[in-house]
Amino acid sequence: MPDPAILWFRQDLRLADHPALAAVAGRPVLPVYILEDGPWAPGGAARWWLHHSLAALGRDLADRGAPLLLLRGDPRRLVPDLAARIGASEVHAGRRTEPTGRRCDAETHGALEAAGARLVLHRTALLHEPHQVRTGAGTPYGVYTPFSRNVFALLEGLAPPLPAPDLLVSAAAAEGLALDALDLLPKPPVPDWAAGFRDQWQPGEAGAAARLAAFLEHGLAGYGDRRNDPGAAWGTSGLSPHLHLGEISPRSVWHAAKARSGKGLETFLKELLWREFSHHLLWHRPEMPEAPLRADFAAFPWQSDATLLRAWQRGRTGYPIVDAGMRQLWQTGWMHNRVRMITASFLVKHLLQPWQAGEAWFWDTLVDADLAANAASWQWVAGCGADAAPYFRIFNPVLQGEKFDPAGLYVRRWCPELAALPDRWIHRPHEAPEIVLRGAGITLGRQYPAPVIDLAAGRARALAAFAAIKGDAAA
């Protein structure tokens, strides 16, 4: 009988197209997941998803003969101890891009090596290795478009996905934790803030496969036209939380999409490559979740205001497209991508709140909270990241709402108190005549808030703040 091996699951909670799992084929295997604490541990919404994803993975592994071991703590101690206990000479896992994960893996590797074992890392979460894609000058990419062109070319020979194994041979049993002992779900006296998630999502590998199949059938062909319409059916794939925890591999998604045709295909593939670009940035700029990538923004004169931040978090800003997005986020753990950009721009530019405050809120409330994508996207909106939108590009939430939700379908769904407003006023209730507001049963400041800031004043303040740091840089 070959020596046993440990299969350490991280952000690859699946059995199909799992290179680390394929590497231990034919050997007794002990599958393990370790809940790690520390900086950027999963936020509340992501923990809800993780609970259900681990439950699904545990069932799938048990059905194949190798139950999942659950642990909590420091892998640098737990993994070497576990390897010694079962006599494993190898631990196989997916490579991570997060700074704390990379440090943990390096130190775990050292501890295993000192004990005569080794940690073997595989590409399980990305289409490419972030440290291997370079510009012609041999440097990391800082601009998305040339990065995507390069990676598109590299992926021409992308190998097909690997099948899931039919059976596994279980290594010696080890004592672990029950899933509930990981405390991933809200429990009394905390209200069940995740109650709305269950109707929206099916975590797990089967849910990911079903979501992909449905999107390919109903959404891919029109994706290029519908992806900016937050009220459209199948305007988005909804795959981001499944991809974040690796319930489906990006390689599986890439090949399944490439087998289809239609003008939405290239647009969808580019969205997958934005995710890759974010992880490329995080690998080379590990400070990205905390510090602006553009050094001049370290002196940006943010005006932190707990009242304004709370109004934004609760969807009570007085601007319907912003409020609809923030309420969708709270109720479902997710927000449409176009609305993510609008709400983020409003926070950092009109309200002049630091982008890190928005990043932290999204981290705690998004089921797809991904450190690389979250940090890269917030820095992009704030104008301080790689390939960032210029700071002086300030989304007007009224005009954005009228452009991308012209009939107000999205706003009416998530801000039902505005449902009776005519289309003309649905995105600007603060400008509606009093007779229109009365007819819709609205008194500003009661059923719906008055605007927390005048858009013109907020824009002027943001531009003045940007000019101030530019002046400091020039001086």
The CATH number covering residue 70 comes to 3.40.50.620
Residues 135 and 258 in one domain: yes
Local confidence band at 192 (pLDDT 50, 70, 90 cut-offs): confident
Q: Write down the pLDDT at residue 448.
A: 98
Residues 240 and 319 in one domain: no
Domain span at residue 257 reads 126-159+205-284
Q: Write down the pLDDT at residue 112.
A: 97
Mean predicted confidence (pLDDT) in 311-334 = 98
Residues 229 and 254 in one domain: yes
Residue 1 scores a pLDDT above 90: no
Please report whether residue 250 resides in a domain. Answer: yes
Residues 451 and 302 in one domain: yes
Q: How do residues 436-469 score in pLDDT, each as one tens digit?
A: 999 999 999 999 999 999 999 999 999 999 999 8
Residues 274 and 307 in one domain: no
Q: How do residues 35-87 score in pLDDT, each as one tens digit?
A: 999 889 999 999 999 999 999 999 999 999 999 999 999 999 999 999 999 99
Local confidence band at 149 (pLDDT 50, 70, 90 cut-offs): very high
Residue 472 scores a pLDDT above 80: no
Q: Write down the pLDDT at residue 475.
A: 37
Residues 274 and 403 in one domain: no
Residues 320 and 443 in one domain: yes
Residues 90 and 150 in one domain: no
Q: Which of 284, 316, 349 lies at the terminal end of a domain, its last residue?
A: 284
Please report whether residue 39 resides in a domain. Answer: yes
Q: Which of 104, 124, 144 lies at the terminal end of a domain, its last residue?
A: 124
Residues 229 and 305 in one domain: no
Q: Write down the pLDDT at residue 391.
A: 78
Work out how many domains the chain is built from and give that number: 3
Domain at 419, CATH number: 1.10.579.10
Please report whether residue 188 resides in a domain. Answer: no
Q: Which residues are catalytic?
A: 271, 274, 302, 337, 355, 378
Residue 120 scores a pLDDT above 80: yes
Residue 165 scores a pLDDT above 80: yes
Domain at 153, CATH number: 1.25.40.80
Please report whether residue 102 resides in a domain. Answer: yes
Q: How do residues 414-431 score in pLDDT, each as one tens digit?
A: 999 999 999 999 999 999
Mean predicted confidence (pLDDT) in 317-322 = 98
Q: Which of 253, 284, 315 lies at the terminal end of a domain, its last residue?
A: 284
Q: How do residues 81-116 score in pLDDT, each as one tens digit?
A: 999 999 999 999 999 999 999 999 999 999 999 999
Local confidence band at 377 (pLDDT 50, 70, 90 cut-offs): very high
Q: Write down the pLDDT at residue 393.
A: 87
Q: How do residues 257-294 score in pLDDT, each as one tens digit?
A: 999 988 899 999 999 999 999 999 999 999 999 999 99
SS (H, E, C) the chain: CCCCEEEEECCCCCCCCCHHHHHCCCCEEEEEEEECCCCCCCCHHHHHHHHHHHHHHHHHHHHCCCCCEEEECCHHHHHHHHHHHHCCCEEEEECCCCHHHHHHHHHHHHHHHHCCCEEEEECCCCCCCCCCCCCCCCCCCCCHHHHHHHHHHHHHHCCCCCCCCCCCEECCCCCCCCHHHHCCCCCCCCCCCCHHHCCCCCCCHHHHHHHHHHHHHHCCCCHHHHCCCCCCCCCCCCCHHHHHCCCCCHHHHHHHHHCCCCCHHHHHHHHHHHHHHHHHHHHHCCCCCCCCCCHHHHHCCCCCCHHHHHHHHHCCCCCHHHHHHHHHHHHHCCCCHHHHHHHHHHHHHHCCCCHHHHHHHHHHHCCCCCHHHHHHHHHHHHCCCCCCCCCCCCCCHHHHHHHHCCCCHHHHHHCHHHCCCCHHHCCCHHHCCHHHHHHCCCCECCCECCCCCCHHHHHHHHHHHHHHHHHHHHC
Residues 34 and 54 in one domain: yes
Q: Write down the pLDDT at residue 187.
A: 87
Please report whether residue 84 resides in a domain. Answer: yes
Please report whether residue 426 resides in a domain. Answer: yes
Please report whether residue 167 resides in a domain. Answer: no
Residues 373 and 438 in one domain: yes
Please report whether residue 178 resides in a domain. Answer: no
Residues 95 and 130 in one domain: no
Mean predicted confidence (pLDDT) in 366-375 = 97
Query: How does the average pLDDT of the chain come out, rounded?
Result: 95
